[in-house]
Chain A
């Protein structure tokens, strides 16, 4: 028996022991009528929802989290691994506390399909789990077809996106380390909306920070499909012009259409081809595949429309969608902090609905997004969002929010504190 097969059997046996398999009359605490929330995806949205459904229900609602990865790896802060000031271990957090502290049943598996009529999810291992409410937080899928040749180049490990923190993050760092001084790192940025609006510009700063010390004759080219920097623009441009003068160059209106892995060249809709020593191409993105497969991606067949009071899909009842997969409200970024914030609104609404209580008619969200311009100095953008009943959407509260006046080490200490705190709030 191979390891994979043995692992599947073990996982299935575990599910059976917990009574999770559909058709079992009893679940783990022996109460046939206990409500169950099934959370699909253990990122900032899903893990927070799992923990907060448990907390807000006084540990009375059964929560199962299905997540394929061994541990949570944070996208926020992952650019610092590229810059060299953090290691993969620094951005990796185990799922164990969700089980040991909060009684969430964490199942290492993928959801293969969801039957929203019968309210059952079938896992890749073949086991099935019934639910009363399902929280879907699958993150993004990459639209490989938007850049011809990229999938093949990525499969070969030649051209990386590193837009999901994990093995590609470490691999891109190795490419940067192997690049000779005087080389060119080029980052192709997709059209908005994409996960983490300031992420590409922070990444450019991190690579420049590394080059400044290790390979000072090298260049960082930002090839952006958007006309201009999409987040914290004036702040980033000032950093590039002053701190990274002559090293970082921003080029807008560069919509990547194809790559040639043999020559490490990226081609554009209009502009001339660019050849680089390290080519980092981030393609367009959409809601995770399971969302479209379940009939939830009803915004341009790409993102999921939700009812913003409880984040329930507008397409399918009792499935709540969180995080980067949703069609956002005005001014709402696709960020880890925002997914954490949305998850708490959804968790409270789910607890209310399962209790037969009225759902909060005035939910609030906030977002605070830090970007490291080097190993220590940080800028932020912050916002507060209120539900506007008349328009059935969230809007930023007038007069609230804003950005930093400029990079500072003080904000650097707050940014690292933010990371440690939100990881604990999400998973601890």
Chain B
């Protein structure tokens, strides 16, 4: 199989999806999806929490609120069991990218 034909096929229809996860349109949007996927193991795929979850779903969370909370975790003004330790692993630019992604997801 040659790369051109794969590319043509793949690029033909990056539009809708069964679960509504935003689609990668290019390398940059794929990177954002990949970064956001690091949150999914605890907060749910595409930020959609499981039923009766004890942690918040992130899908549809307003970006300003999420950035504030992540900075509060990082700075130590919001306490947590785990999140204050994980938040310190993400840069401000990464947090802004995560916030933009999750704000755009359907709950």
Contacts and interface: CB of A to CB of B under 8 A. Distances in A.
Given A59-B17, A425-B40, A400 B27 contact: no
A129 to B, nearest CB: 14
Nearest to B2: A33
Contacts of A408: 81
Greatest chain B CB density within 10 A among A348, A397, A425 is at A425
Contacts of A101: 18-19
A400 B88 contact: yes
Given A61-B10, A344-B34, A364-B38, A414 B55 contact: yes
Contacts of B81: 380, 404, 408, 410-411, 414
A301 interface: no
A250 interface: no
Given A33-B5, A57-B24, A368-B41, 12 more contacts: A33-B6, A132-B1, A341-B41, A355-B10, A356-B7, A360-B27, A362-B31, A385-B89, A414-B54, A414-B81, A414-B82, A425-B44
Greatest chain A CB density within 10 A among B31, B43, B55 is at B31
A366 interface: yes
Contact of B55 (A132, A360, A417, A428): A417
Interface of B: 1, 3, 5-7, 9-15, 17-19, 21, 23-24, 26-27, 30-31, 33-35, 37-38, 40-45, 49-50, 53-55, 81-82, 85-90, 94
B1 to A, nearest CB: 6
A422 B41 contact: yes
A279 interface: no
B41 A58 contact: no
Given A33-B9, A35-B1, A425-B44, A344 B38 contact: yes
A232 B18 CA distance: 41
A363 B34 contact: yes
A332 B94 CA distance: 21
A400 to B, nearest CB: 3
Interface of A: 31, 33-35, 51-52, 55-61, 101-103, 132, 337, 340-341, 344-345, 348, 351-352, 354-360, 362-366, 368, 380, 382-386, 396-397, 399-402, 404, 408, 410-411, 413-414, 417-418, 420-422, 424-425, 428
B9 A348 contact: no
Contacts of B41: 337, 340-341, 366, 368, 418, 421-422, 425
A312 to B, nearest CB: 16
Given A35-B10, A101-B18, A360 B43 contact: no
A57 B21 CA distance: 10
Contact of B88 (A34, A52, A368, A397): A397
B27 A352 contact: yes
Contacts of A365: 38
Nearest to B24: A56
A188 B88 CA distance: 36
A399 B53 contact: no
Contacts of A401: 85-86, 88-89
Contacts, number: 163
Nearest to A32: B1
B52 to A, nearest CB: 9
A360 B34 CA distance: 9
Contacts of A56: 21, 24, 30, 33-34
Nearest to B51: A420
A84 to B, nearest CB: 23
B30 A352 contact: yes
A34 B9 contact: yes
A52 B17 CA distance: 12
A418 B42 CA distance: 5
B2 to A, nearest CB: 8
A422 B42 contact: yes
B88 A399 contact: yes
Contact of B11 (A340, A355, A380, A386): A355
A121 to B, nearest CB: 16
B45 to A, nearest CB: 5
Contacts of B6: 33-35, 132, 354-356
B23 A58 contact: yes
A55 B55 contact: no
A419 to B, nearest CB: 10
B77 to A, nearest CB: 16
A271 B25 CA distance: 61
B13 A102 contact: no
A421 B44 contact: yes
21 contacts: A33-B1, A35-B1, A52-B37, A132-B1, A337-B41, A345-B34, A355-B6, A362-B31, A364-B35, A364-B94, A366-B89, A380-B82, A382-B82, A383-B89, A385-B89, A397-B89, A402-B85, A417-B53, A421-B41, A424-B44, A428-B45
